Amino acid sequence: MADKTVGAWAMVALQGLLFLLVVVAALVPTMGPSVWLSLPLSIVLILVGAAGMLWSGRDLGESLTPLPVPNGKGMAAKGIYQYARHPMYTAILLICLGVAVGAGKIQVYVVVLALVVFFEVKTRSEEKYLVKAYDGYAEYASHTGKFLPGIGKRRA
C-alpha cells in the first residue's frame, strides 16, 4: 500500500510541476517563432476550463482526490461524468491551453502537449484502480468518452 501511495503522490507532484512549467514557459522570452492568436480566445478557454473544474469538482463530491487511487467514497458517473470520465483533466487542459493562446509562445504549447501526454498516462493508471475498486466502472467506461463525450471509450 505504501508503494502505491508514494507513486500516486509522485504523479501529483509531476502534475504540479507541469502546471508550473506552463506558467514559466508563458513568462520566459520566446525560444523560437511566436504564435500569437488572441486574448479573447485565451480568456474564453480559461473561463470555460474554470467552469468545467468547478462543475466536475461539484459532481465528484467526496470522491475528489488529487491521487490516481480512488478514496473509496464512491464512483462518479452522474452530472458531467455521464459525458466524460475525466472532465476535470479536460478542464485543466483548457485552462492551460488558454494560457498558451494568451502567451502566443510555442514553448507553452509544448508544455501543454506534455501535460496531455501526462494525463493520458495518469488516467491509464487511475482506471486500473477504478476497475478494481468499483464493479460498474468497466461498463461505465465502455460507453463514456475519456476526456470528451464519445471519444476514447474504454475497451474491455
CATH number at residue 132: 1.20.120.1630
The cell numbers describing 146, all together, are 475519456
Assigned domain for 149 exists = no
More confident residue, 152 or 118: 118
Instruction: Dump pLDDT digits (tens) for 88-114.
Output: 999 999 999 999 988 888 889 999 999
Q: Answer yes or no: is pLDDT of 36 > 60.
A: no
Instruction: Dump pLDDT digits (tens) for 37-95.
Output: 478 889 999 999 999 999 999 999 999 988 888 988 999 999 999 999 999 999 999 99
Chain centroid to CA 71: 18
Instruction: State the DSSP code for 65.
Output: -
Assigned domain for 92 exists = yes
Domain that includes residue 117, residue range: 2-143
pLDDT band of 3, cuts 50, 70, 90: low
Assigned domain for 151 exists = no
* Least confidently predicted of 1-5, 11-15, 119-123, 124-128: 1-5
| Secondary structure (DSSP) of 111-132 | HHHHHHHHHHHHHHHHHHHHHH
Assigned domain for 17 exists = yes
Distance CA 97, CA 103 (A): 10
Q: Alpha carbon of 80 to those of 76, 83, 101, 102, 148: distances in Å? A: 9, 6, 25, 27, 10
Q: How many structural domains compose the chain? A: 1
Assigned domain for 29 exists = yes
Distance CA 145, CA 87 (A): 10
